[in-house]
Structure 1
């Protein structure tokens, strides 16, 4: 699960305002709120990936097999998809903090469900709630970080720093979750209760911090403007679809390692250590973060092209390591594939973000993430079913070939679009109410009238 990287604020993509340009009226400063939000984002994402090395322990406790493991894992995907599609857009209308606080509350409840309902139904319920919290948080938190940084530093409207912090918080959390849980499983006697109880405390503390962070969407916008849930600019549909293919492919790898990484290590490489399983998840997310940060200045088309080199190469090495089991090769392959997936996802989100209407950023990103999380769940379940019939090695080869081909076609489409000089044009006006005047938005070669509702 990689990070978000929103388009930099501009005249066509304004940062939300709370109605004044001075210090916040209550709570901590915008700068402190920025770091509180980054911490909350990190903890929540770590909680989502923490079960990666714990699945064998859950399977032993509740007596289920590989297919049930992937179904339980996919419960998070279902919850996240529902959260993204039904609620992920709401921060554009009601405010960032008003969505972050419920997200942390839901995830805290999920952790408590894990602790006090230690059965398979409880695990499913907790995963659904965990996914819903991610669906609320992911697009909102990254938008919130951009808003808070802009309010703290109004003289730096195009700064890349909030995007870098969002990448670090998201992927740092995803990497730390399995590593911490793997260490707990390796060296403690009750890792399941310890990990879930620890995250219940951590998310509750983050909830308290989030309550002090100033809001960045003002009352005037909440009462007068009602942003559309999902609105693309003219000619933005093709860009959005291309982005979705890239994100789907990247998340398919993350879902496979998070759900079945322990099984692959145990069955094919003879490794049962939860710490090593957690290390594999850590290296995958760390590789994604490193790839994004190291090549963060590449254009979306070039990022996708670079990803299409690392991603299939890493997947091919993963398949090779299943036939010639060497632990270091498997770990290196996972890191390389993760780096490629991170670049594919970065190219996707950098393409999807500018395709959004200015007042529908979180909504469009929420829809984009819903597609990505479908990629996390559906291929993993299919992989599990096919591997039972054809074996893990052949299934991995087919998995790698299908994802690499899809990613390559999407990257070619992105390069073709960039080469043709296609510019994202303005939003289609929707009939307003009360005859409100039109607002003009300037874009490269385009002047479009946008109806104010």
Structure 2
């Protein structure tokens, strides 16, 4: 049995750890450097600025030149970005550069490596590749900030020491990835690297996938980067709390994915609709937490945000694989991930909307309305397309 996919999944786990370890550190930078709320939100979002174009280019490049040639170098860049975070502990421009570099590394790896895991899972049940990739990413997203937040709470040097575990993990993952087979495609795609596959401009993708995708990481970002700063609670223990909240949110996202897969098997897009309903519920609980200034309510909202994140991720990945022809799977998956990472701008946008005079409470109510609108569009698209649903060959390769 081919187990090479496990090394690729470990690399995705390591890069996911590096991608999200920054989240609980936002409060450390506030305490140590006095960085403002919007500046911290911008540093958080800069990751997506580097990630989204890298996703689009990386996925198409892996379709053309092969997964291994594209993924291996950028897995190695991930710990380099973390070293830059350590070196720039008291220099905001350096932090911004490190976040951009982490985004570029993640963007190339997530789309191309997800397709690589699917390629290496060809002999396994349908959907195995998408599930394995989603679990690896989610586990890294959840465990990374949990460890970082707990270490930052007790470390003598809270802006540097919490990043060291990822440096070690990233180097180990890069070394273990080197022997994994990834031959160059026999018939590489010849379309421009920056173009989008025709599938991503089709009605099904635009109405059934695109409206829900930003809520995947939008929910995670609101839970871990917006709400903890908006709740007026004592600062004692806030770094550990931020790490635990992030771990709970994204850990739940991992745990619900087997259920999400069963929902998706029962009816395509059902998991995505459940995810959007969870997003609405989580936003309302978050609103209650703001009204009560309660960290405990944030811990109630966290798993619900996580359920929204996990259901949306599995549903979107599997729909992207169903829609994509085999030779464009990397590019289609990358396009889906690019849309999901628009959600990283959610804390900045909510802060900007709240700054218009309605406050964070009003901003969350706006988010509820947008989530309900997304749910309506996805539900309508799902109902209208049920009559012609088929399983293309790309799903059998998942």
Q: Which SS does the other structure have where 1:246 is aligned? A: coil
Once the two structures are superposed, the pairs formed by residues 17-416 of structure 1 within 5 Å of their partners are 30-31=2-3, 33-118=4-89, 119-150=91-122, 154=123, 156=124, 158-218=125-185, 220-222=186-188, 225-226=189-190, 229=193, 230-233=196-199, 237-241=202-206, 242-265=208-231, 267=232, 272-298=237-263, 299-377=267-345, 379-388=346-355, 389-416=357-384
Is the contact between residue 130 and residue 317 of structure 2 (CA under 8 Å) also seen in structure 1? Answer: no
| Cα distance per residue 1:217-262 (max 9 Å; x no partner) | 44x335xx536653235x9711211301111122222222343243
Contact 2:130 2:318 in 1 (8 A): no
Larger relative helix fraction: 2
191-200 or 331-340: bigger deviation: 191-200
**What is the aligned-residue RMSD (CA, Å)?**
2.5
1:198, 1:344 → 2: CA distance? 29
**Are the counterparts in 2 of residues 232 and 357 from structure 1 also a CA contact under 8 Å?**
no
Per-residue deviation, 1:408: 3.2
Task: Give the conservation status (yes or no) of the 8 Å contact 2:150–2:239.
Answer: yes
The worse-fitting range, judged by mean Cα deviation, of 317-326 and 252-261 is 252-261
Task: Measure the CA separation in 2 of the matches of 1:370 and 1:423.
Answer: 25
Aligned length: 387
TM-score relative to the length of structure 1: 0.79
**Where does structure 1 lack aligned partners over 5 or more consecutive residues?**
1-28, 426-440, 444-453
Distance in 2 (CA, whole Å) between partners of 1:382 and 1:400 is: 14
Please name the residue that 1:9 is paired with: none
Larger radius of gyration: 1
Give the CA deviation at 1:195: 2.4
Taking the aligned partners of 2:217 and 2:96, their CA distance within structure 1 comes to 21
Q: How far apart, CA to CA, are the structure 2 residues paired with 1:46 and 1:442? A: 29
Aligned residue for 1:191, secondary structure, equals: coil
Any unmatched runs of 5+ in structure 2? none
The structure-2 alpha-carbon separation of the partners of 1:262 and 1:30, relative to structure 1 and needing over 3 Å to count, comes to same
8 Å contact kept, 1:46–1:175: yes
